[in-house]
Structure 1
Amino acid sequence: MVSKETSIKVSEESKEGQFNLDGILSELGSFGKYQLLLLLLLAFRDSFLAMCNFNYVFAAAEVNFRCVVPECESLESGFNASWRSFALPNEPGTCRRLTPLDAVSNSSVDDQFTYTCAPDNFTWNRTMNCDKLIYEDYNSIVAEFDLGCEPWKRTMIGTVHNLGLVFSFIISGLISDKYGRKVIIVGTPLVVGVAGLIKSFSVNYWMLLVFEFLETALGYGNASMVLSLETVSQNQRVMFSCIADLLACIGSAFFGLIAWKVPYWRHLMRAIYAPLLVVVFYIFLIDEGVRWLLAHNKNHEAVRVLNKVAKINNIQLSKKAQQMLMNIAGESKSQQAGENPPSERPHLLSVLRSKKIVVRVLLIAACFICCTFVYNGTIINSASVSGNKYLNLSALMLVQVPTRIVAALTLTRFGRKAPICVAYTLCCLFFISSAFIPQSIWWLSVLFYLFGKMCSSYGVFSMYVVAMEVFPTTSRNSLTNIANTVGRLGSVLAPQTPLLEKYMTGLPSVVFGLVALGPAMLALLLPETSQADLPDDVTSAENLDKPHEEQGVDNTTQDELPRIAVSVTREK
């Protein structure tokens, strides 16, 4: 019989008395029961939020329509009536119909003329406006609110949706940094769910537009990714975030299938918005981020969370880790007693007094403009791909899954800047190549386009990771969302790219390729963060681009991580 005794100790190389959060997080593990539950909870939340964010793709989908022809409706009133060939123009989606003879000139028609629905009773060279429309189906907002002849109202829904997101990212970032990640993680889905359900009962177009704005302006945000980055140790944070995002991508891919089975827009909205109300129970299931708690001098609560993780994961912390927790808990009690008042937290404006921080915000904002332009533009231009529109959307969501797996492997091993540069350089080559491939081998063009889309998806996720790693904990979400808000200029311009096809076939892909060179070059100006701890204050954030030995810490990041010593004894 063989028995093994395994002892795991935190490295004694840490400075005496220095609190080593990264070492404690490593001891607690990155994929224990606690972290796996957190991954599933975040995936459920983010999956349905993604579905709601794309709801207008199907809810406000364009629908084929035709004019009502009173002279012929009594004969056959279906959308594909047989008399369409001689009573309506050949142009699809037009709001005009052929003028009947009796409306051209009453004097030219015999008083005894009896009007019938026949080809000879319509003029081929004159048209008139429609009084009423008939739609191919009534599953869309366009049909129900009769927007066929007012296409600007249909596109306005998407515009208002994106305009609301601008406010959402700013508001959620400020709230998240001041009141905690948990407030946004629990609060925004509830707002989105309630607003979406009310929106599904809209009695007219304008009511729907108001709640479309309120939904996006008060909901969404990226607190989930911030929490996932802050939950685990430095060497596992990219892997953990990739898995969280990968699960959300898989979950959101079900949107196409749900919309396929529930096509009517009111029922579809209720099917995807109602599950978000379950997030109210996250109040009891999710804890506040430990890094945020420590950065805001809530040491006692941070110790409680860390002990909870250890209990759920069935892990016995080392004596040194327990001593660290006792020390910071004691500091918290001293602060509450007034013996050692907590230092005042820096305001967002005071953080922006740092020139380095401002430059990084501008650099990341410029990267986001290029990234969102390419990412959203490729999705918009791929909408013309033939096939089932519901399955096409699900496929586009699933394309992100392999990119997250690659990101988890490469961002940890090769750092941040090099993979981003390589990804967007390949993105440039794939898109430009797809534009000049002969039509005789169209499948190769589509394949290159798909590879370019995958590189773009990889690059967007990687930029988000870098953006959250270069800013201090006290203003991480705010600064990331400010850069993201400016970067949404790219998503505003992206819908105009299909117009470029009028000048040259494949020109949109060429433009995507050229714009992709932007983040490939700008990423070189950002600090390398793969081997650095998440900065908790402005000073540590400013020192990210300095050699590690100059930052006033241990010589290497690896020395700050717990080293595991395993002793094994065997008995027969």
Structure 2
Amino acid sequence: MSKEVTGDKPFDLDVVLKQLGPFGKYNIVNYALLLFPIYLAGMYASIYVFEASDIDYRCEISQCEGINESLWIDYAIPYEKYELSKCKRYQYLGNNSNTCSERDFNRTVLEQCEKYVYSDEDSAVKDFNLGCQNWKRTLIGTIHNSGLFVSLPLTGMISDRFGRKIALPIASLMNGIFGITRSFSTNYYMMVAMEFLEASLGAGAYSTAFVLAMEIVGPKGRVFGNTLINVLYVFGSMSLAGLSWWLQSWRKLLRVLYFPALLVFSYLWFLNESARWLLSKGRHDEAVEILKKASKMNNVDISDEVISSIYKVGKEDTKNKEIIADNGGTTKSTFLEALKSSIIRKRVAVCSFLWITCTFVYYGLSINSVSLAGNKYVNFMLVAFVEIPANFVCLFVLERYGRKRTLISTYLLSACFCVSLYLIRKDQKWLSLVIYLSGKFSITIAYSSVYIYVSEVFPTNARQSLLAVCSALGRVGSTLAPLTPLLALYYDNLPAIFFASITLVASALVFTLPETINVPLPDTIEEAESQSKKNKNNE
């Protein structure tokens, strides 16, 4: 809730933003600019799914290639799960004749393939001869997501120190450079190196655009702004599948998708910096100019009293910095103080696991959707599209039923839907798809809820740092998710069983956290600890 301008707090930016309106012309123009890199981020997040998609191939039988396959293929290669084996062949007896037939193969002896014949489908699997090396194929996605461990703190540091206006174009430029370079990869190792560099130096474009978008609107506009961001991100994921289907070439796909990222570099010259960030850095003159520009575009007048209060706050900030310098320039680490609390430590551990669960199941279901029966591109688009209604439902249920009940219910529903996949017959394709989409719907609500819930259980004076810890540890889930298709090689429903198991554990852990609906955000460690005590008294 916004605070009024008082003698105790001479200036509150949220009051000014409220006067400017939630979505005036200034906000619309800036949001349009910011939604473009967010849309691109929706494509970049899962592009490895179509770069190195699994394709059809079989052993190369050099002695028989060029001869009508129908005469020898069933005698040369065994069947696995009603399809020709990709990795095994029968022993060739070495007949010197120019024909291949049943008598030329020993069907009691199986051998591993040494060479492969690939289908006409396009994939890095074919270009870099990754046949029967599924660990190498899935490792591409893992390496991409591991880059987030670097990009989040690196871009955050650049953004906080030099500004959002600088961090966003630089990150987007890195996306464009390394993404396009990756399309010219001459071998597997060059590809994975570019995959890591692109993610580690460019993936922060999304988080920077998100923060800037949240900072240019008032409290009432943030919910709608967040919904817009989520919808554009989903459209990015759907566009990825559509373009992959149309282009049918992973190299062309990379060039088409990453070229627009280079255009975002031009934002350096015309994107408006965050007034909130400028004020935090003591650059009050620049902040005032941006607020005046916003008021002019929105046809709103900002009073002279508000402008003078900004400069008054600036003087007080300078005075406070001088006092700190006179005292030796040291301040107490609230982050370390918070971790001394056993209650806060427990919340960090639980919230980190909740985050890991969401990223693991969320990305795992997206990645494995291309393995469902039917058109893999349509399946991926449907699994992405279901996030749009899920985000709108999330806004409703969080306010009506609270944080704990929403999380417990959605985790349980995700587990039930994943187990249901195990019980459905393979010939019930449409039912399988509906249940799969329902599982993605549930985990999306949980994922959106976790973002809000985690920020409400930590104290203000350490909230950003503790949130960063949970978010960083949560990336373990998205890093492991690309490896889940390997589980299906051993048992078709093994990925679904893993997803169900981890969501059940997460659901149980939510019971250990306090309910935060309609509860003021805790500003101190003591207030955060008292949340648990209040919940116990209410039970």
Q: d(CA) in 2 for partners of 1:58 and 1:505? A: 19
Instruction: Determine which structure has the larger helix proportion and give its number.
Output: 2
Question: How do residues 84-483 of structure 1 correspond to structure 2 at under 5 angstroms?
Answer: 84-91=73-80, 92-102=84-94, 114-137=97-120, 139-221=122-204, 222-317=207-302, 319=303, 322-332=304-314, 341=322, 351-355=335-339, 361-411=348-398, 419-428=406-415, 430-431=417-418, 446-467=433-454, 479-483=466-470
8 Å Cα contact 2:59-2:89 kept in structure 1: yes
- Equivalence for 2:505: 515
* AA partner of residue 284 (structure 1): W
Mean Cα deviation higher: 240-249 or 504-513? 504-513
Q: Cα RMSD over matched residues?
A: 3.7
Specify the SS of the correspondent of 1:102.
coil
Alpha-carbon distance in 2 for matches of 1:157, 1:396: 21
Q: Distance in 2 between matches of 1:94 and 1:454?
A: 34
Cα distance in 2, alignment partners of residues 200 and 506 from structure 1: 33
Moved more, 281-290 or 188-197: 281-290
Alpha-carbon distance between aligned partners in 2 of 1:59 and 1:164, rounded to the nearest angstrom: 17
Amino acid at match of 1:407: C
- Aligned partners of 2:91 and 2:427: how far apart in 1? 44
Match in the other structure for 2:535: none
Cα-to-partner distance string for 1:179-202 (whole Å, 9 max, x where unaligned):
333333222121111111111111
Distance 2:101 2:458 in 1: 72
For 1:36-51, what aligned pairs fall within 5 Å after superposition?
36-51=28-43
Deviation at 1:295, TM superposition (A): 2.6
SS of 1:314 mapped into structure 2: coil
Supply the AA of the counterpart residue of 2:182.
K
Structure 2 vs 1, CA of residues 145 and 309 (structure 1 numbering), >3 Å: closer, same or farther? same
Residues 278/21 of structure 1: CA separation in 2 closer, same or farther (3 Å cut): same
Matched, 1:64 2:56: yes
Aligned to 1:558: none
**Map of 1:533-548 to 2, 5 A cutoff?**
none
Write the distance in 2 (CA, Å) between the matches of 1:22 and 1:485.
Answer: 29
**Is this contact kept in 1: 2:130–2:136, CA < 8 A?**
yes
Counterpart of 2:536? none
Q: Report deviation, 1:33.
A: 1.6
Letter in 1 for 2:36: F
Distance 2:17 2:145 in 1: 38
TM-fit CA distance, 1:362:
3.9
| Unpaired stretches in structure 1, ≥5 consecutive residues | 1-9, 104-112, 548-572
Partners of 2:421 and 2:330 in 1: CA distance: 49
**Take 1:541 and 1:300, find their aligned partners in 2: how far apart are those partners?**
35
- Following superposition, the deviation at residue 365 of structure 1 comes to 1.7
Unaligned segments of structure 2, at least 5 residues = 532-539
Secondary structure in structure 2 of the residue aligned to 1:71: coil
Select the structure of larger CA radius of gyration.
1
- Please give the alpha-carbon distance, in whole angstroms, between the structure 1 residues aligned to 2:275 and 2:11: 13
CA 1:343–1:283 in 2, change beyond 3 Å: closer, same or farther? farther
AA aligned to 1:24 is V
Distance 1:138 1:445 in 2: 26
Read off the aligned partner of 1:268 and give its amino acid letter. L
Residue 19 of structure 1 and its aligned partner are, at CA, apart by: 0.9
Query: How far is the alpha carbon of 1:11 from its aligned partner?
Result: 9.5
C-alpha contact (below 8 Å) 2:247/2:253 kept by paired residues: yes
* Superposed displacement of residue 169, structure 1: 2.0
SS of the residue aligned with 1:99? Answer: strand
Deviation for aligned residue 1:315: 1.5
Q: Which moved more, 1:418-427 or 1:383-392?
A: 418-427
Specify the code of the residue in structure 2 equivalent to 1:453. Answer: K
1:376 deviates by 2.8
Partner of 1:525: 514
TM-superposition CA deviations, 1:480-508 (whole Å, max 9, x none): 33321212233345444845957989644
Mapped partners of 2:78, 2:431: distance in 1: 38
Contact 1:303 / 1:329 at 8 angstroms: preserved in 2?
no
Per-residue CA distance 1:448-477 (angstroms, 9 max, x = gap): 443332121122123223445677899876
AA paired with 2:376? K
Q: How many equivalent residue pairs?
A: 516
* Structure 2 contact 403–449 (Cα < 8 Å) conserved: yes
Decide whether the 8 Å contact of 1:115 with 1:121 is kept in 2.
Answer: no
What letter corresponds to residue 249 of structure 1 in structure 2? V
Equivalent position to 1:18, from 1, 7, 10? 10
Amino acid at match of 1:517: S
Residue 28 of structure 1: aligned partner? 20
**Identical positions, percent:** 34
